[in-house]
Structure formats: C-alpha cells, structure tokens
Amino acid sequence: MGGSDPNFHLFLLIGQSNMAGTPTPEAVDQAPNPSIRVLGYEDCRAPHERGYDEWSVAVPPLHGCEAGLGPGDYFARTVARSFPEAKIGLIPCAIPGVDIDFFRKGVVSSRRREFKIPPDNHWSGAYEWVVSRAKLAQEVGVIRGILFHQGESDVGRVEWPGKVAEMVRDLRADLNLGLVPFLAGELMYSPGCSGHNPLIARLPELIEKAYVISAAGLAPQDDYHFNLAGQRTLGTRYAEKFLAVFRP
C-alpha cells in the first residue's frame, strides 16, 4: 500500500473501554472484508496474528489482543459499503479506564502509572502516541475523521468539554487535518454514566464540525459498557452520521 492514497480513508479511534470494546464478538462479527484494514495496536498471536504498527485485515478485536467488539468494527463495515472502490483504515488508540488528560498534548495524567501505552509504555502521554500512529498511517492514506468515545472516567467534570475541544484543536493542527468530522459518542444511559451526556452535548458548541452520536436505546452489558448488540448499533450510528456530513 505504498504512497499516500486518497482512496484509503483513515479513521482515528480514540477513547477508553467502550471504544476498545468489551463484548466478545460472534462468528458473524469476524467475517473479514479485505478492504478494511487496521493498524496493529499491539503484537498479538491470537485470535489473529497481528503486529504493532503493521497493517492487517480488520477483524475484532481491533485494540488489545483480548479486547472485544467496539464501534469501529461496524462503523467500518457500514462506511465500506458506501465506498466499494475505496479502502478503509482504522487506527485504534483507545485505552480502557483512562481519563481525558491522557489524550491532551503536553499533559501527563495524574493516573499515568495506572495504565500502559503500547507498545512498551515509554510515552509520557497518549497524545504523542496517537500522533505518531496517525502520521505513520498518513504515509499510505488520508485521515477522514476522528471517532471518540470517552468520559466514563470523567463523569460530570465541567472542565471536560474544554479539554476535549483542546485535544481536537491540537490533533487537527499537528496532523494537518483541516476540519475533519469529529464524532463523539454518548455514554450509557445508566445511573453511572448518563449524567455526563449533557457535557457531551456541549461539544458541537466548542468544536466546529463536531457531532454527537446518540446512545439512546442501546442495551447494556453493565452500568458502564454496551453489550454486543449495542456496540453493533453504536458503530452503525457513527457511520451514518459520518456519511451524512462527509464531503470528499
């Protein structure tokens, strides 16, 4: 896939556990589509042979070797159907449990020691890691959008929307993305999470071309995570919004 191909549509997947995915995929979710690729999140032997920062056919889990199905899977499937002559590339950058400070430029989260950043945990923060992976992907394709699902570790913190807006501004500038769509998913409609959704609703006020993806009616796995059916639907909703606003 040498050279930067405008028909290789790339998407950043940023967030925590719901972006990485927790439910175990079923056989129907594992059907490969050779036109959908993923940039390896870590070295894995099973269930799929995959190398860190290497491209391979995208089948779940897209993130860690033992992760589950996240929204990126059905997002890519849905977008691929609308662009049959193109390739879709996913750049998974979610870390379960992390707060938004992990993804802020020049910031070291107070919880940094609790989590590992692939491949060898040498990064001071995840922002620099995301940018390095994105730049590697840009050698072969064009970033068309950012999918974001984070907030369970920051529920109700009024400063959160401003921090997200800062992150998006920095990513767009450092990766020369222009105003690519920024798609932010709502959290579970549960007592532990739903109180954060009004803060997510503020993002389009702060970020140009930001869109909120509804989690209404999605079934839970627990108070914080979507189940398998919920993740399939959530990924499809991300894709439907992207397709509605994307202008090649």
Domain boundaries, the chain: 8-245
Class of domain 8-245: alpha beta
Mean pLDDT calculated for residue range 216-223: 94
Predicted local distance difference test score (pLDDT) of residue 247: 79
**Number of neighbouring beta carbons within 10 Å of residue 111:** 13
List residues with catalytic annotation. 17, 223, 225
Predicted local distance difference test score (pLDDT) of residue 215: 97
Q: Within the chain, where are the H helices?
A: 17-20, 71-82, 126-138, 160-174, 197-200, 203-206, 228-245
The percent helix, strand, coil of the chain (3-state, each to 5) is 35, 15, 50
Predicted local distance difference test score (pLDDT) of residue 49: 85
The structure's pTM equals: 0.96
- The alpha carbon of residue 224 and the mean position of all alpha carbons in its chain are separated, in whole angstroms, by 17
Report in angstroms the alpha-carbon separations of 128 from 142, 167, 171, 222, 238.
Answer: 19, 11, 10, 32, 25
Mean pLDDT calculated for residue range 194-223: 97
How confident is the model over 106-128, as pLDDT tens digits?
999 999 999 999 999 999 999 99
How confident is the model over 31-84, as pLDDT tens digits?
999 999 999 999 998 767 899 999 999 999 999 998 999 999 999 999 999 999
Collapsed DSSP state (helix, strand, coil) of residue 238: helix
Nearest to 200 by CA among 145, 160, 173: 160
Mean pLDDT computed over every residue of the chain: 95
